[in-house]
Amino acid sequence: MKLLAKDESLCIGCGECEAVCSKTYFKEISPEKSCIRVGDQKIQVCTQCGECIDVCSVAAISRDKNGVVRINKKLCVGCFMCVGFCPELAMKMHGDLLEPFKCIACGQCAKICPTHAIHISEEA
């Protein structure tokens, strides 16, 4: 299963990951639009646990072949139940957007992290 693994003890909270994430997906630098959030030696990001899949009433969330949990925006009705039910608080909402958003383990942030506090893990 592919996911963004983390070692919080290495995190210096520089915010580079947040900047690259929001830039990649929303063409702007805004921590509020980042799928990963850091600070105070805490890294908040999706563990791909998939609890949100069962919460979604319209079955808009599913696991892809790599094990990554993805949102089908076309089916999503923007209820944000998945945000309230995420055990990691890693499903995100932003007022500009009709749908929630989350980490899909693309690895852009891992590439830029100066302390290797995050990396893509592909273990089974």
Partner 1 sequence: MEKLEHKFLKEYNYELGAVDKGYTNRTLYINVGTHEIKEKPVTSLMKDKFIGGKGFGLYYLWQAVTESTKWDDPENEIIISSGPIGGITQYPGSGKSLVVTLSPLTNMPIDSNAGGYFGPFLKFAGFDALELQGKAEKDVLIFIDGTKGTITIEEMPGGGVDTHILGEQLTEKYADNEEDKRNIAVISTGTAAEHTNIGLLNFTFYDVRRKGIRLKQAGRGGIGTVFRDKHIKALVIKCAGVKGDLNHPVDKLTLNKTGIKLHKEMHDLDNSQNQMRKIGTANIISIMDQYDLLPTHNYKFGAHKDTFKISPEVFISKVTQNSPDGCWHGCSMACAKAADHFELKTGPYKGQKVTIDGPEYENAAGLGSNCGIFDPDVILELNFYCDTYGIDTISYATLTAFVMECYENGILNKERTGGLELNFGNIEANFELIHQMAKGEGFGKIAGLGIRKMKEIFAKEYGADPQFLFDIGMEQKGLEFSEYLPKESLAQQGGYGLTNKGPQHDEAWLIFMDMVNNQIPTFEDKAEALHYYPMFRTWFGLNGLCKLPWNDIAPADNKLTDEPAKIPEHVQNYVDIFNAVTGKTIDKFELIRQSERVYNFQRIFNIRMGFGKRIHDKLPYRAMGPVTVEEYQSREERYDQQLKELLGYDTTGKTTEEKIKVLREYREDQYEKLTDAVYKRRGWTMDGVPTVEKLRELGMDLPELLEVVEKHR
Binding site for partner 1 (CB under 8 A): 54-59, 77-81, 83-85, 93, 95, 98
Residue 41 or 85: the one with the smaller Cβ distance to partner 1 is: 85
H runs (alpha helix) in the chain:
16-26, 51-55, 81-85, 108-112
Minimal distance, residue 89 CB to partner 1, in Å: 9
Minimal distance, residue 28 CB to partner 1, in Å: 17
Minimal distance, residue 17 CB to partner 1, in Å: 23
Residue 29 or 93: the one with the smaller Cβ distance to partner 1 is: 93
Residue 38 or 56: the one with the smaller Cβ distance to partner 1 is: 56
